[in-house]
Amino acid sequence: MHLTALDWVVVVASVAICFLPALLMVRRAGANTAEYFTSGRAAPWWLIGVSMVATTFSTDTPNLVTNLVRKKGVANNWTWWAFLLTGMATVFFYAKLWRRSGVLTDLEFYELRYSGKSASFVRGFRAIYLGLFFNCCIMAAVNLAAVKIASVLLGLKMSQTLLICGGINIFFAATSGLWGVLVIDMIQFGIAMTASFAAAYFAVKRPEVGGLAGLMHKLPAGSINLLPDFSKTWEMVVPILVIPLAVQWWAAWYPGAEPGGGSYIAQRMLAARSEKDALGGTLFFNVAHYALRPWPWIIVALASMIVYPQLADIERAFPGVNKELIDHDMAYSAMLKFLPSGFMGLMMAGLLAAYVSTIITHLNWGTSYIVHDCYRRFVRPGMDEKHYVMVGRIVTGLLMVAAGGMTYALQSALESFNLLLSFGAGTGLIYLLRWFWWRINAWSEIAAMISSFLATAGFFIAKKLGHGVGDEVSIPMTVAVTSVVWLATTWLTPPVDYATLAKFWKLTRPAGPGWSVVRRSVGIVGSSPDSLTDGLLGLLFGCGLVYSALFGAGSFLYGRHIAGAIWCVAFAVSSTGLAWLLPRMWSSQRAASELERTATARMQ
């Protein structure tokens, strides 16, 4: 594609704007690891919320959505729409608990919740497994999308793209710390969303498409439906709807949608200046992530089905692109060729912004695991803060290099998404229950990790040998095997000592009956400031608000105004419910805290 001088001015200006906060935050980030990894625990709700959204919006995200839509229609997005249940559970049950814990990283949680060598092992192992292996796999998938986009738009080779992008990311992430990452995310999210809406607008303006009305008329029957074809049970309904809603949302661990919160989502909640900010930021993230962002990508994906109905059409349109890179996810990049001058530069800037915001977050998050939870904890404890910050900056560069090398092993966004999702299958229930049930111990988590990995690896090898089964079979079987193994391990191994459990409850104060045994045994006075009933209501209203906004917007885009009006009513009801519930949650929390302070004072 040909980029004009105006396009390049837009790209350079956007990069320059993002360089400024990185430079301004260098000195503050270098002060200590708390500043470098958690922004001094002073971030407001709106900043951490925007940062979460920006991080989960990367170059591979529109590619993934395009891949899903082109293969099985809009309903195929339930593969990730179902994770809203996880997200809202994090908002109303776990955000405040994470903030109360006061840990620097979510892996530090293990030696707070558990005790002994097994707790230390889980913390150290997951620091390497997630911070290095898993993290580099995710960054490699993001790199792959950047490579495909650069190949289509600029004609760059993979090595050239990785070298240029790697240098930019290392500079941003290594110099600015989390404060810089948060501010850069905010700027880049605005650029990326503007570019996404522009891409959708010009996609439907194509003569082949003929506007929204023409798009709806020319698309294959059933491709725009929000629910899968119920006449195709095993091909569509089970893998697209049943497995995600019945199993996947609570059973699978995936960065950005972890049951109970975790990874960079936990990092943002830990960086919040208060529990209220942690909850508010996570709520904003889920609303924007599921209700605001998807439709521009979906519209472009649907338009690409008319402009490039077959992969051969993409290949003919871009003869210089490596044929091994061509898959359905490349259709999004191919649609960008129709953007006019100026908007092409905006799109380039937006895609670069989305790419950088995700990678620098993963670099900062992965580095926090390797430095704080492995190097500082087990290799070189007791060094000064500046030493750990320096090591963090070195590790940041090495992680980017490792992710670049791993990029060569991947082929498509959907392939990497499914692989990462499979390796986390079966472990999610532990991450939900460990806050609310005292009996879970470190061995439970070790058993879950090992059994999930072995089961997934077994299905993967069988598939390569020609004996594989679909995700609708492999994921539930992996979840079942993993759940049986970790539950059996929990009951066959000794519980965590009561002193550690009592200290954990006093610090985080989770609600519910799951800690009654410990509280009675050690004579804990006081109650939780939280309510499980309010949490369930929040989950209900939150999901209602987001799904009604998502499907209401889709209905109006489709020209289905009656359905859109019905979704508007559901949105109003859900919004009213949240407006009533949130003040109630804060008032009950303040009352419970005051009662606890009074009881403690009387005992003294």
Which segment, 17-21, 214-218, 412-416, 598-602, is predicted with the most confidence on average? 214-218
C-alpha 239/C-alpha 233 separation (Å) is 9
Given pLDDT bands bounded at 50, 70 and 90, which one contains residue 172?
low
C-alpha 238/C-alpha 240 separation (Å) is 6
Burial of 191 (0-12, 13-18, 19+ CB in 10 A): buried
pLDDT at 34: 58
DSSP 287-356: HIIIIISHHHHHHHHHHHHHH--SHHHHHHH-TTS-GGG-SGGGHHHHHGGGPPTTHHHHHHHHHHHHHH
Q: Taking all residues of the chain, what is their mean pLDDT, rounded to a whole number?
A: 84
Rg over alpha carbons for the chain, rounded to the nearest Å, is 24
Asked if residues 302 and 32 have their Cβ atoms less than 8 Å apart, the reply is no
Q: What is the mean pLDDT of residues 593-600?
A: 47
Q: Which of 538, 524, 544, 517 is nearest to 589 (CA)?
A: 538
Alpha carbon of residue 337 to chain centroid: 29
C-alpha 99/C-alpha 269 separation (Å) is 6
pLDDT at 595: 45
Asked if residues 22 and 176 have their Cβ atoms less than 8 Å apart, the reply is yes
* Residue 597 in this model has a pLDDT that exceeds 70: no
Asked if residues 261 and 90 have their Cβ atoms less than 8 Å apart, the reply is yes
Burial of 34 (0-12, 13-18, 19+ CB in 10 A): middle
Q: What is the mean pLDDT of residues 112-116?
A: 92
Give the 3-state secondary structure of 126-172. HHHHHHHHHHHHHHHHHHHHHHHHHHHHCCCCHHHHHHHHHHHHHHH
pLDDT digits (tens, 9 = 90+) for 204-223: 999 999 999 999 999 987 89
pLDDT at 176: 60
Helix (H, G, I), strand (E, B) or coil at 70: helix
Given pLDDT bands bounded at 50, 70 and 90, which one contains residue 600?
very low
- What separation in angstroms does the CA of 73 have from each of 66, 302, 306, 405, 552? 9, 8, 13, 33, 18
Given pLDDT bands bounded at 50, 70 and 90, which one contains residue 493?
very high
Superfamily of the domain at 1-30+44-237+274-409: Sodium/glucose cotransporter (1.20.1730.10)
pLDDT digits (tens, 9 = 90+) for 95-112: 999 999 988 788 889 999
pLDDT digits (tens, 9 = 90+) for 51-63: 888 878 777 788 8
Residue bearing the bigger pLDDT, 430 or 321: 430
C-alpha 137/C-alpha 529 separation (Å) is 39
pLDDT at 274: 87
Residue 389: both structure tokens together:
């910050």
* Residue 36 in this model has a pLDDT that exceeds 70: no
C-alpha 452/C-alpha 258 separation (Å) is 15
pLDDT at 32: 57
Please report, for the chain, how many H helices and E strands are present, in that order: 30, 0
pLDDT at 442: 94
Q: What is the mean pLDDT of residues 113-125?
A: 91
Which segment, 133-137, 357-361, 418-422, is predicted with the most confidence on average? 133-137
pTM: 0.85
- What separation in angstroms does the CA of 436 have from each of 69, 94, 478, 480, 495? 38, 10, 24, 21, 14
CB neighbours of residue 8 within 10 Å: 13
pLDDT digits (tens, 9 = 90+) for 325-335: 788 888 998 89
Burial of 316 (0-12, 13-18, 19+ CB in 10 A): exposed
* Residue 8 in this model has a pLDDT that exceeds 50: yes
Q: What is the mean pLDDT of residues 501-524?
A: 91
pLDDT digits (tens, 9 = 90+) for 530-575: 999 999 999 999 999 999 999 999 999 999 999 999 999 999 999 9
Given pLDDT bands bounded at 50, 70 and 90, which one contains residue 604?
very low
The domains of the chain are located at 1-30+44-237+274-409, 453-482
- Phi-psi bin for 263: left (phi > 0), alpha (psi -120 to 50), beta? left
* Residue 114 in this model has a pLDDT that exceeds 70: yes
pLDDT at 603: 38
Given pLDDT bands bounded at 50, 70 and 90, which one contains residue 174?
low
Given pLDDT bands bounded at 50, 70 and 90, which one contains residue 439?
very high
pLDDT at 23: 65
Please count the CA atoms within 13 angstroms of the CA of 37 that sit on its side-chain side.
32
> Sign of torsion, CA 33 35 40 45?
negative
Quote the DSSP letter at residue 86: H
Q: Which of 187-196, 302-311, 396-405 has the lowest mean pLDDT?
A: 187-196
pLDDT at 596: 47
pLDDT at 294: 92
Q: What is the mean pLDDT of residues 182-207?
A: 84
C-alpha 158/C-alpha 321 separation (Å) is 11
Residue bearing the bigger pLDDT, 152 or 416: 152
**CB contact set of 70 (below 8 Å; sequence gap of 6+):** 301, 304, 305, 328, 331
pLDDT at 38: 55
Q: Which of 127, 107, 68 is nearest to 298 (CA)?
A: 68
* Residue 414 in this model has a pLDDT that exceeds 80: no
C-alpha 528/C-alpha 507 separation (Å) is 10
pLDDT at 185: 73
C-alpha 86/C-alpha 266 separation (Å) is 13
Q: What is the mean pLDDT of residues 410-423?
A: 67
- The rounded percent of the chain whose pLDDT value lies above 90 is 34
C-alpha 175/C-alpha 181 separation (Å) is 10
pLDDT at 281: 92
Q: What is the mean pLDDT of residues 596-603?
A: 44
* Residue 268 in this model has a pLDDT that exceeds 50: yes
C-alpha 574/C-alpha 586 separation (Å) is 19
C-alpha 437/C-alpha 472 separation (Å) is 30
pLDDT at 412: 65
Q: Which of 50-54, 417-421, 522-526, 544-548 has the lowest mean pLDDT?
A: 417-421
pLDDT at 14: 80
* Residue 598 in this model has a pLDDT that exceeds 50: no
Helix (H, G, I), strand (E, B) or coil at 250: helix
Burial of 583 (0-12, 13-18, 19+ CB in 10 A): exposed
Given pLDDT bands bounded at 50, 70 and 90, which one contains residue 361?
confident
* Residue 390 in this model has a pLDDT that exceeds 80: yes
Q: What is the mean pLDDT of residues 431-443?
A: 94
Amino acid 469 reads: V
